[in-house]
Homo-oligomer: A and B are copies of this chain.
Amino acid sequence: MAKHDPDLSLLFSALADPTRRSILTRLAQGPAKVTELADPTGLRLPTVMRHLSVLKTAGLIATTKDGRIRTCEIRPEALHPARTWLDQQRATWEARLDRLDAFVVNAMKERDQ
């Protein structure tokens, strides 16, 4: 059984909320101020701040403050472990299919002999 990786849980949990996903999609297009992110969501600022905090804790965004303006930007490398985990499941599954294929091919060879 694979060992417990807390970063993956934070990561997938952060992605589990639609508001946070929409924020990430917006930030993938380029940095944005907090209010620029909040307006399209229709949520109150403290709620958006909380969502941003979750994304920051998961390492998915970074923020910088200039005066009273806080700018958020995506950290795309943070999505890498999620993609890796998904790829690993696919690799395991496809290796299994390959083994099944080989097994079927062998079985048909022996049946033909």
Contacts and interface: CB of A to CB of B under 8 A. Distances in A.
A85 B1 contact: no
Interface string A78-108: 0100110111111011001000000000000
5 contacts: A1-B25, A8-B15, A30-B96, A79-B89, A83-B86
A4 B74 CA distance: 20
Tally of this chain's copies: 2
Contacts of A9: 16-18
Given A5-B18, A9-B18, A12-B13, A28 B92 contact: yes
A89 B88 CA distance: 20
Nearest to A40: B1
